[in-house]
């Protein structure tokens, strides 16, 4: 029942709202974005 109410809050207010945080979930903007790795893949030594 609690999980259903959390889903309802996300559906009603959106993934990045303060209400989502109030029910104990993370906001969408709190997740770390994936970073691009540098080309070459080496350790920089020649």
Helices (H) and strands (E) in the chain, counts: 2, 0
Range of the domain at 17: 1-28
Please indicate, yes or no, if residue 45 is contained in any of the structural domains: no
pLDDT, tens digit, 9 for 90 and up, residues 1-46: 777 889 999 999 999 999 999 999 999 998 888 888 887 666 666 6
Looking at the structure of the chain, the number of domains it has is: 1
The answer as to whether 8 is a domain residue is yes
pTM surpassing 0.75? Answer: no
Domain assignment present for residue 21? The answer is yes
The verdict on residue 44 lying in a domain is: no
Judge whether 10 lies within some domain: yes
In DSSP notation, the chain reads -HHHHHHHHHHHH-TTSHHHHHTT---GGGSPPPPPPPTT-S-S--
């Amino acid at each position: 029942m609690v999980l259903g109410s959390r889903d309802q809050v996300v559906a009603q207010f959106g993934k990045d709202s303060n209400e989502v945080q109030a029910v104990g979930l993370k906001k969408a903007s709190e997740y770390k974005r994936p970073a691009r790795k540098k080309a070459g893949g080496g350790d920089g030594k020649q």
